[in-house]
Amino acid sequence: MARTMRAIGIKGGKGPADALFVDTIPVPAPASNQALIKVKAFGLNRMDLLQREGQYPVPPQAPSTLGVEFSGTIENFGDYAGKDFAVGDNVFGLAYGAGIQLSKADNASAIYVTAGSQEKIDFCVDKLGATAGFNYRTQDWASEIQKATNGRGVDVVIDFVGATHFQGNLNVAARDGRIVQLGQMSGSTLPAGVDISGFIRKRLRFEGSTLRSRDEQYQKKLRDLLVEHALPKFKDGSFKIFIEKTFPFEQVAEAHKLLESNRTKGKIICTID
């Protein structure tokens, strides 16, 4: 009889948080250069919300099972001749890094954030080390960043929000700056009146990026960079991991609802007994 395991399923294939349930599916067989991980805990990601709602196309090489951030132990391998890992090793993948802390570690001259509440802004400044933060609900955040930089703007903009921040991103980007789009929480259709002249006037670069659909070689390079550059800082405590709340695996619907509330500051974790 084939081995089975528990996994998060979605009733009807897509839907609201209440459509989530604990399903029973066959245990996958690891292919060449893959490992089978017995997951002990996993973190929620905005991508999980989009996938649950049917708005995130799953890459061909990825399973439809929800979840991308995990920690656990290696149970077995496919055809693997490497020496980096062994059965029983504790491992994690796509763990939370806090981009503010990475920027600070690389000696960024200033780090500005936008958030929807003063509580989140205080968290980013007091706990993570941002220079200043601005409330996109109550402030003209782009104008405030321009004031803070004496009109110069910022060299790199990293945006997860999308449509509603697009014009502001163009406004705050410095000459020869770069805008990196990593998400589209507010949608992908731009509002009327967006002025794209800044691309030419400031010689701006705009690029989008994803991780899950990248090939194995790219992901390996990124993993090696994480191990070399960030992992030592997690070990010595230089980088802090902030956890908002931990849920048992069976309460994943409640965990999704909390993430959807936009009240969270740290990671939401689900644990598996």
- Same domain (yes/no): 89, 119: no
Best CA proximity match to 226, nearest among 110, 81, 94? 94
Domain containing residue 140: CATH number: 3.40.50.720
pLDDT 10s digits, 152-178: 999 999 999 999 999 999 999 999 999
CA separation for the pair 17, 96 (Å, rounded): 22
- Reported as type and span, the H/E element at residue 197 is none
Q: 206 near 166, Cβ under 8 Å?
A: no
For residues 65 and 107, membership in a common domain is answered with: no
Do 104 and 60 lie in one domain? The reply is: no
Higher pLDDT, 185 or 211: 185
Residues 128, 191: one domain?
yes
10 Å CB burial of residue 146 (0-12, 13-18, 19+) is middle
Same domain, yes or no: 178 and 190: yes
Residue 261, in any domain of the structure? yes
Better-predicted residue by pLDDT, 204 or 220:
204
Q: Supply 4's token pair.
A: 């089975």
Q: Give me the residues paired with residue 37 across strands.
A: 74
Joined tokens for residue 210: 């994803």
Start-to-end C-alpha separation, the chain:
23
Q: Are 252 and 20 in contact (CB under 8 A)?
A: yes
- Does any domain span residue 167? yes
pLDDT digits (tens, 9 = 90+) for 87-119: 999 998 864 347 788 888 888 999 999 999 999
Residue with tokens 């929480």: 185
CATH number assigned to the domain comprising residue 41: 3.90.180.10
Q: What's residue 28's pLDDT? A: 87
If asked whether residues 172 and 245 sit together in one domain, one would say no
Strand 243-248 and strand 69-77: the pairing is unpaired
**Are 44 and 79 within one domain?**
yes
Task: Note down the domain range covering 66.
Answer: 4-96+241-271
Domain membership flag for residue 202: yes
Max avg pLDDT among 6-15, 69-78, 136-145, 220-229: 136-145
Q: Do the domain assignments include residue 220?
A: no
Q: Both 87 and 111 in a single domain? A: no
Residues 139 and 185 both lie in one domain:
yes
Mean pLDDT of the chain: 90
Same-domain check for residues 54 and 155: no
- Same domain, yes or no: 20 and 60: yes
Q: How many folded domains does the chain comprise?
A: 2
Contact, 212 vs 68, CB < 8 A?
yes
Q: pTM for this structure? A: 0.77
Exposure of 48 by Cβ count < 10 A (0-12 exposed, 13-18 middle, 19+ buried)? buried
Q: Where are the alpha helices (DSSP H) in the chain?
A: 46-52, 99-105, 118-122, 141-148, 166-172, 198-201, 216-225, 231-235, 252-260
